[in-house]
Amino acid sequence: MGVAAWNRGTAVVRRQIQADKRPVEFEMMEDLTNLQKFEYAKRPFSDIVFVAGHGGWWAECPTTGKGYWYRTLREAVRSWRVAIVGFVDGKWQATPC
């Protein structure tokens, strides 16, 4: 086997590995959704978003912008009975469950 054939084979293997690899966002969505909720966790009336800000994370209504501040993203997700469904422009989107 020549060098050119070796390089082609390596490139094919590298492309297959990249195609099979899931984006990190999907792994984080599963981890966040599967967190055990706090006993006092509330269910929102509609979808909410988690946004980084002021050294922590905001759980806020996408329509009104009102929300609650939490120290960590995990704490914020555990405080609400939601399932993380997306990550767009640095915002984690969640829907009630």
In a domain, 9, yes or no: no
Q: What is the pLDDT of residues 46-88, one digit of tens each?
A: 999 999 999 999 999 999 989 999 999 999 999 999 999 999 9
CA distances (Å), 45 to each of 32, 37, 53, 81, in order?
Answer: 20, 17, 23, 11
The candidate with the shortest Cα–Cα distance to 37, out of 95, 70, 94, 81, is 81
Is the residue at 54 inside a domain? Answer: yes
In a domain, 15, yes or no: no
Range of the domain at 75: 24-96
Residue 80 lies in a domain: yes
17 inside domain: no
Residue with tokens 């966040």: 32
Among 56, 91, 60, 86, CA closest to 74: 56
Q: Is residue 86 part of a domain?
A: yes
Number of domains present in the structure of the chain? 1
**Global pTM?**
0.76
What is the SS3 assignment for 86? strand
Q: pLDDT value at position 18? A: 76
- Do residues 82 and 48 make contact, with C-beta atoms less than 8 angstroms apart? yes
Q: Is residue 14 part of a domain?
A: no
Please determine, for residue 1, whether its predicted confidence score (pLDDT) is greater than 70. no
Q: What is the mean pLDDT of the segment spanning 31-37?
A: 94
Instruction: Report which of residues 63 and 4 the model is more confident about.
Output: 63
